[in-house]
Amino acid sequence: MSEQKTTFADQKRKTVEIAEFTEDGRYKRKVRSFVLRTGRLSEFQRNAMNDHWADYGLEHQNQPFNFVEIFGNDNPVILEIGFGMGKSLVEMAEQQPQYNYIGIEVHTPGVGACIAYAVEKNIKNLRVICHDATEILRDCIADNSLGGLQLFFPDPWQKSKHHKRRIVQPEFVQAVMKKMHQGGFIHMATDWENYSEYMLEVLKNTQGLRNTSTTQDFIPRPDFRPLTKFEQRGQRLGHGVWDLYFIKD
């Protein structure tokens, strides 16, 4: 039996998975906010990445993206970090064509599934990235260029000793603030109450951010945020969900 050909999607998966090592193969310890789960990349997902990356994929680069060139317009650009399988992101892009969306996800099955769904829906205002979000923010996003950031159900890292791995940290929010233009938003949601309280504290203590909550804490779940399969399951189990929505003044 001949060996299966290594395709672009397989190579992309390998590239993300070896991110913890130096070029000469030595282990490089780095605190990351995600854990790579090596779920199976299906043929359907692999084909979607291989066939449509030119239309939907963006690569890490050492200079800011030109959003007008990428999308063919100057609509506000919304960045979503950790879109999972991408269904809610695609639906949001479909429902709000006045925005351009960029989604970052390190798990290739999700990237492939998102691209496949975007192709099915003929979405034009969405691009995806398979890379570490902190490096994308640092290298590829120009200052004052984003209309908003979405972070829905990030890994809560429940144990206290793992809290340093949470993506929401003062330094992360400061980096996001630098990339957003005035009037841009930060929208976060979590079903982990301890994390929601920590998110609220970090956002409240960030100079230049204004809470849109009338009670100065959380907002009711907004209609424009699609209900995810994950969230639907949580609702059936009686889990709470906390949304935060802050504006850069």
Mean pLDDT score, 69-91: 96
Write the CB contacts of 204 (distance below 8 Å, at least 6 apart in sequence): 211, 216
Q: Are strands 209-211 and 242-248 parallel, antiparallel or unpaired?
A: antiparallel
Q: What is the DSSP letter of 241?
A: -
Q: Which backbone phi and psi does 182 adopt, to 5 degrees?
A: -60, 135
Mean pLDDT score, 81-88: 94
Q: What is the CA radius of gyration of the chain?
A: 18
Whether the pLDDT of residue 169 is over 70: the answer is: yes
Supply the CATH number for residue 145's domain.
3.40.50.150
More confident residue, 200 or 4: 200
More confident residue, 165 or 36: 165
Instruction: Write out pLDDT tens, residues 203-244.
Output: 999 999 999 999 999 999 999 999 877 788 878 888 899 999
Task: For residue 198, give the nearest of 226, 231, 233, 160 by alpha carbon.
Answer: 160
Assigned domain for 206 exists: yes
Mean pLDDT score, 166-188: 96
Q: What is the pLDDT of residue 28?
A: 46
Mean pLDDT score, 148-166: 85
Mean pLDDT score, 163-174: 91
Q: What is the pLDDT of residue 21?
A: 43
CA torsion through residues 136, 172, 190, 219, sign: negative
Assigned domain for 92 exists: yes
Burial (Cβ within 10 Å: 0-12, 13-18, ≥19) of residue 205: exposed
* Tokens matching residue 175: 């980096």
Whether the pLDDT of residue 32 is over 60: the answer is: no
List b or e across 145-161, with b for residues whose CB sees 16 or more CB atoms inside 10 angstroms.
bbbbbbbbbbbbbeeee
Assigned domain for 226 exists: yes
Q: Are 104 and 83 in contact (CB under 8 A)?
A: yes
Question: How many structural domains is the chain composed of?
Answer: 1
Assigned domain for 160 exists: yes
Binding-site annotation: residue ranges for S-adenosyl-L-methionine = 80, 105, 132, 155
Residue type, 46: R
For the chain, the average pLDDT equals 88
Assigned domain for 87 exists: yes
Q: SS3 sequence, 152-189? A: ECCCCCCCHHHHHHCCCCHHHHHHHHHHEEEEEEEEEE
pTM for this model (two decimals): 0.85
Write down the catalytic residue from 51, 155, 223, 243.
155
Residue type, 75: N
Q: What is the pLDDT of residue 1?
A: 37
143 is catalytic: no
Cα–Cα distance for residue pair 64/59, rounded to 1 Å: 11
Assigned domain for 22 exists: no
Whether the pLDDT of residue 89 is over 80: the answer is: yes
Binding-site annotation: residue ranges = 80, 105, 132, 155, 159, 191, 228-231
Q: What is the pLDDT of residue 5?
A: 66
Mean pLDDT score, 101-120: 96
Assigned domain for 106 exists: yes
SS3 24: coil
Q: What is the pLDDT of residue 14?
A: 63
Binding-site annotation: residue ranges for substrate = 159, 191, 228-231
Q: Are 176 and 186 in contact (CB under 8 A)?
A: yes
Assigned domain for 67 exists: yes
Domain that holds residue 165: 40-248
Q: What is the pLDDT of residue 34?
A: 46
Cα–Cα distance for residue pair 110/190, rounded to 1 Å: 19
